[in-house]
């Protein structure tokens, strides 16, 4: 009887051992792993080779793993791994849920097809996926490690380069848990180049609609050199939090650039921002819900988008910008090469901003279309301020006030419409008032050459005779018909041209004779 019991035990042990060997044979483990990963990601998985070692503890090594979502063969695989190594317990390999202790990935690439993950899983005829609760994951991985990975987002047009992100030191814990996996990683941002440190929670993976996979976390971006963007400079740092799904990530963050400048002027100004944006993580498009910026002592509010548009290389920046009660000198420091700004005062600006992509400097690509209002202004050029003050005195019939200054400010209500293209500002309906006169101008200012070309009219309250005395008043009365202003006073056609530092103010004789 005892012999029978021993023999039965040996047979059972041998059967269990045979079953164990059968279940951990490479072909079976490979089939199970391929099935589990394919089920988890809703795609087709292929592995070129797989090796299993059971003793002293189970380890798995493999080569050339690829994952295609929805069996798409017209685009590169969503995920490719050159080689991988995994460790597990026997229980982890034999359990109902494939449980791996640690997975190390080498040369791990993610390729997002044109149009993002939506295009990867949806055919043109398919209907919108409805979010639903994910079933338990068929695979659980305690830790995933990838020292260097590559995320590539393909453009819609095949003749353009993809956007590439380098991912370093990725560590993920709890992949397959219903609450998602915790992760930490460093990401190299291409432009401006710098390393972004981020950590958070990713998942669970949404099998039917990967773009709806949740993600949340926080990031730190330090010492990014803005010189990587042609035409601007400065060192930027940013921190923030994000949450949402891959196709709609809400980001709340802030930036600090203490030495921001545009190369055109080369004068650094402190720039800080607080922003709330929405990012499509599957293609990189960004919508700016609100950006509050502080430039020097001036506050700026903007909203808009940074998106890749069809048939246009790269991304366009489109913004609606509002600047209220700002210092005009803060804005001029960015565009004017001068030790001190040519004008001071409080200004309101509303404008649209379009910054198309391209290889030119920012200032040459920047397009503006807006209006501004400067309540009180003062020219920092003493000679120019005295000319304006003298004109004001003469406009009120006070001859002989050539060198008098009207005090802290003589120019008021400066307003107008402007358009900027190719570093050239065109002003329309430019008007400002001085005591006794109003000036109406239109013209251009070339930011590169720093040259003005304006023409317009000075509307004076006084007649020419009131502005002169003695023998000169006789000639003034004879000339008054050429300069008569409807309703009384005088209208002088003028032209302002030349370099910003030494502009020429002169009577536009041709327009006088034409009108006469």
Query: Is 70 part of any domain?
Result: yes
Local confidence band at 143 (pLDDT 50, 70, 90 cut-offs): very high
Local confidence band at 357 (pLDDT 50, 70, 90 cut-offs): confident
Q: With contact defined as beta carbons under 8 Å apart, do 246 and 131 qualify?
A: no
Query: Is 69 part of any domain?
Result: yes
151-to-113, 230, 284 alpha-carbon distances in Å: 11, 25, 12
The pLDDT of 335-346, averaged and rounded, is 78
Last residue of a domain, one of 170, 192, 212: 212
Query: Tens of pLDDT along 15-55?
Result: 344 444 445 556 666 777 778 888 878 778 888 888 877 77
The better pLDDT of the pair 397, 193 is held by 193
Residue 501 is given by DSSP the state S
The full length of the chain comes to: 516
Query: Tens of pLDDT along 418-463?
Result: 998 988 989 888 888 877 778 888 999 898 888 989 988 888 776 6
For residue 103, the enclosing domain spans: 22-120+134-212
The pLDDT of 484-505, averaged and rounded, is 80
Query: Is 304 part of any domain?
Result: no
Q: Which two tokens stand for residue 341?
A: 């700004």
Query: Is 287 part of any domain?
Result: no
Report the pLDDT value the prediction gives residue 311, as an integer from 0 to 100.
46
pLDDT at 254 exceeding the cut of 90 = yes
Q: Which of 88-102, 110-124, 208-222 has the lowest mean pLDDT?
A: 110-124
Looking at the structure of the chain, the number of domains it has is: 2
CA dihedral 392, 397, 402, 407 (to 10 degrees): -40
Query: Is 77 part of any domain?
Result: yes
Report the pLDDT value the prediction gives residue 71, as an integer from 0 to 100.
66
| H/E stretch holding 509 | helix 509-515
Query: Tens of pLDDT along 458-484?
Result: 887 766 656 666 556 655 566 656 667
CA 232 to chain centre: 14
Q: What percent of the chain has pLDDT over 70?
A: 74
Query: Is 163 part of any domain?
Result: yes
**pTM of the complete model:** 0.74
Local confidence band at 134 (pLDDT 50, 70, 90 cut-offs): low
Query: Is 295 part of any domain?
Result: no
Q: In the 3-class helix/strand/coil scheme, how is 411-456 assigned residue by residue? A: EEEEEEEEEEECCEEEEEEEEEEECCEEEEEEEEEECCCCEEEEEE
Last residue of a domain, one of 148, 177, 212: 212
Question: Cα–Cα–Cα angle for 434, 437, 438, nearest 5°?
Answer: 80
Last residue of a domain, one of 179, 212, 245: 212
* Other Cβ atoms closer than 10 A to 246: 24
Residue 482 is given by DSSP the state G
Query: Is 309 part of any domain?
Result: no
pLDDT at 145 exceeding the cut of 80 = yes
């Amino acid at each position: 009887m005892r012999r029978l019991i021993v023999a039965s035990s040996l047979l059972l042990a041998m059967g269990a051992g045979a079953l164990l060997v059968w279940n951990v044979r490479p072909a079976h483990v490979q089939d199970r792993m391929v099935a589990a990963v394919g089920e988890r990601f809703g795609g087709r998985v292929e592995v070129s080779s797989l090796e299993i070692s059971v003793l002293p503890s189970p380890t798995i090594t493999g080569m050339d793993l690829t994952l295609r979502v929805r069996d798409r063969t017209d685009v590169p695989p969503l995920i490719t791994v050159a080689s991988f190594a995994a460790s597990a317990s026997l229980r982890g390999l034999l359990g109902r849920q494939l449980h791996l202790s640690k997975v190390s990935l080498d040369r791990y690439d993610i390729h997002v097809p044109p149009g993002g993950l939506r295009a990867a899983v949806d055919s043109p005829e398919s209907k919108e996926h409805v979010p639903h609760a994910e079933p338990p994951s068929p695979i659980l991985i305690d830790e995933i490690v990838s020292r260097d990975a590559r995320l590539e987002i393909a453009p819609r047009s095949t003749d353009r380069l993809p956007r590439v992100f380098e991912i370093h030191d990725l560590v993920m814990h709890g992949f397959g848990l219903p609450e998602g996996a915790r992760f930490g990683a460093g990401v190299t941002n291409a432009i401006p180049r710098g390393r972004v440190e981020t950590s958070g929670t990713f998942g669970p993976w949404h099998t039917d609609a990967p773009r709806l996979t949740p993600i949340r976390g926080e990031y730190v971006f330090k010492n990014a050199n803005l010189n990587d963007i042609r035409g601007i400079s400065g060192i930027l740092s940013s921190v923030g939090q994000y949450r949402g799904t891959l196709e709609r990530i809400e980001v709340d963050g802030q930036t600090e650039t203490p030495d921001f400048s545009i190369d055109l002027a080369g004068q650094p100004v402190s720039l800080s921002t607080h922003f709330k944006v929405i990012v499509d993580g599957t293609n990189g498009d960004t919508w700016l819900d609100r950006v509050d910026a502080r430039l020097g002592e001036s506050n700026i509010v903007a909203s808009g988008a940074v998106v890749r548009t069809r048939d246009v290389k790269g991304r366009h920046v489109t913004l609606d910008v509002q600047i209220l009660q700002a210092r005009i000198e803060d804005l001029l420091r960015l565009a004017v090469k001068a030790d001190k700004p040519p004008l001071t005062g409080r200004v309101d600006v509303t404008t649209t901003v379009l910054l198309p992509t391209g290889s030119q400097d920012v200032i040459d690509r920047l397009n503006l279309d807006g209006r501004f209002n400067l309540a009180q202004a003062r020219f920092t050029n003493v000679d120019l301020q005295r000319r304006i003050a003298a004109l004001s005195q003469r406009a009120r019939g006070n001859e002989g006030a050539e060198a008098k200054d009207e005090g802290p400010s003589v120019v008021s209500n400066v307003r107008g419409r402007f358009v900027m293209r190719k570093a050239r500002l065109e002003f329309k309906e430019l008007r400002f008032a001085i005591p006794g006169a109003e000036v109406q101008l239109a013209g251009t200012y070339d930011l590169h050459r720093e040259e003005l070309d304006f023409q317009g009219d000075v509307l004076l309250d006084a007649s020419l005779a009131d502005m002169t005395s003695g023998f000169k008043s006789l000639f003034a009365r004879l000339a008054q018909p050429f300069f008569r202003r409807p309703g009384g006073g005088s209208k002088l056609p003028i032209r302002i041209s030349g370099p910003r530092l030494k502009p020429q103010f002169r009577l536009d004789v041709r327009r006088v004779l034409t009108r006469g």
